Amino acid sequence: MAGGKLLLHVCCAPDATVPWPELSGEGFCVSAYLFGGNIHPEEEYQKRAASLARLAEALCGDFVVSAFEPLQWLKSVVGLSNEPEGGARCRVCFTLQLEASAKYAADNGFSHLSTTLTISPHKDPRLINIIGSEISEKYGLSWVERIWRRRGGFKRSVEESRRLGLYRQNYCGCVYSERDAYNGLRKDNDG
C-alpha cells in the first residue's frame, strides 16, 4: 500500500471521479488541484470549479482552485493556434499545468503528484507521464504514474459523473479546443 500526501492535478471534476477514490484507496491522503490558466472562458472555469467542489463534497475530500489567470498560458501557446489536439500546443499546456501543480505541491508539504489527464482518450498518456515525472523530480516530489483510462476508466468516469450530476464539458478547456468543438471537429465530450 502506498502512502503520503498526494496532490492530484485535476482538469475537470468528471476526470477525477476515478483517480481520486482509487488513489485514496491506495493509502494516499489526496487533495485535488484545479489549474485554470488554460481554461476558456472564465465562465467555463467557474463551472469546472463548482463541479470540483461538488465532487470534493461527495468524496469528503479537500481541493484547491487556482486563480483564473490565462495570460501566461496564452503567451506560452502563441503561434500554436492551428496545432491539432495532441500536438505541440498540448505539450506546452500539459507542462504549464503540471508545473503549477508541482510548485503548489512543493510549497504546501505534499510528497507526491499525479494527474487526471491520462483518463481522456484524446490525450497522450506516455507524454503526460514523462512530463509529470520530470517536473516532479525538479520539485522533489514522487510522481505517481497512472493511465486512468485503462480498464474502462474513461467509461466509469462518465457514468460516475452522471450519477453525481457533475458538469461535463465537450472540449478540453482551451480556446482552441472550444473552437474545434463548436466547429464540428470534435464530436464527443473530452472528459
Asked if residues 119 and 153 have their Cβ atoms less than 8 Å apart, the reply is yes
Q: What tens digit of pLDDT does each residue of 78-111 get?
A: 999 888 888 899 999 999 999 999 999 999 999 9
DSSP output for 63-107: EEE-----HHHHHHTTT-TTPPTTSHHHHHHHHHHHHHHHHHHHH
Per residue in 2-55, pLDDT (tens digit) is 689 999 999 999 999 999 999 999 999 999 999 989 999 999 999 999 999 999
List domains and CATH numbers for the chain: 4-182 (3.40.50.620)
CB under 8 Å to 126, separation ≥6 — which residues? none
In angstroms, rounded to a whole number, what is the distance separating the alpha carbons of residues 3 and 124? 27
pTM: 0.93
pLDDT at 185: 57
